[in-house]
Amino acid sequence: MRLLPAPSSQSLRLLFLFIFVMGVAPYPALTAGCPDRCVCDDQLVVQCAGQELTLFPNDLPLATRQLIISNNRIGELPALQLNYLSDLVYLDVSNNTLTEISESTFGNLRKLAYLDLSFNTLTQIEDRTFGPLSSLVMLRLTDNLGLNEIHPDAFSENIALQVLDVSRNNLTTLNISSLIALPSLRSLGLSGNPWMCDCETEDLCLWVQIEGFKFQVPVSVFVQVPYAVVTLANDGL
């Protein structure tokens, strides 16, 4: 009987490479490295809070479910990098230096349920900024001291949104069409804004009074006038 020759070391190396490429090796999304100055765990949580980052972290595992990059100095959310994280459900970008976000920022994050953009330097929220976020349940937009405009259609497609907080910004008006489009809304934060006395604010106060049964906590809308602060909504709602 004729014996086959033993495989050479080069042949073995080629065979191993072939097996690796064909997917016998673990899925790369789960084994990708963790970004510098971040901690990644086996629950697909990436924790990068308080690391003095000035840029969005590179080399995030593609299967990341929770990303916490709060308390840094990040000035931009790069749409290309962020939208690779299509399994993301929780994103905390609070206490950074973001100045701008748009519809493209969150274009592929259809599973995202929690988004915290508080304590940044945003100045306006444009049309359909959060449109792609069809699973969004909680949105925190507080303490952006320069935020003075929210487009009436900013939340028009966020039908799952239950908690919206726009407290302590620089809003003087808020078109009620932004809120009427939210059938699941259960909690609304409006305090700490310099609301002006005009027809739009009157409509907002009336809406809060009519729809007050939806809210888990009392809702008050305060309107700033030259010599006084007038409460337009009933604290007992």
User: Rg (Cα) of the chain, in Å, rounded?
Assistant: 24
- What is 10-67 written as a DSSP string? HHHHHHHHHHIIIIISPPHHHHPPPPTT-EE-TTSEEE-TTS---SPPSS--TT--EE
Q: Are 232 and 212 in contact (CB under 8 A)?
A: no
In sequence order, what are the residues at sequence separation of 6 or more whose Cβ sits closer than 8 angstroms to the Cβ of residue 206?
none
**Which of 73, 95, 74, 88 lies closest to 29, judged by CA?**
88
Alpha carbon distance 66, 52 (integer Å): 19
Which three-class secondary structure state does DSSP give residue 79?
Answer: helix
- Residue 138 has, within 13 A of its CA and on its CB side, a CA count of 10
The pLDDT assigned to 32 comes to: 58
Could you read off the pLDDT of 119-169 as tens digits, one per residue? Answer: 999 999 999 899 999 999 999 999 999 999 999 889 989 999 999 999 999
In terms of CATH architecture, what is 26-231?
A: Alpha-Beta Horseshoe (3.80)
The pLDDT assigned to 236 comes to: 36
Q: What share of the chain is helix, strand, coil (3-state, %, to 5)?
A: 20, 15, 65
Q: What is the pTM of this model?
A: 0.78
In sequence order, what are the residues at sequence separation of 6 or more whose Cβ sits closer than 8 angstroms to the Cβ of residue 224?
194, 195, 196
Alpha carbon distance 14, 89 (integer Å): 40
The pLDDT assigned to 35 comes to: 94
Q: Does pLDDT of 18 surpass 80?
A: no
Q: Does pLDDT of 200 surpass 90?
A: no
Type of residue found at 121: T
Q: Does pLDDT of 207 surpass 70?
A: yes
Q: Beta-carbon neighbour count of residue 94 at 10 Å?
A: 21
Q: Name the percent of the chain lying above pLDDT 70.
A: 74
Average pLDDT over residues 45-62: 96
Q: Which two tokens mark 54?
A: 């000035």
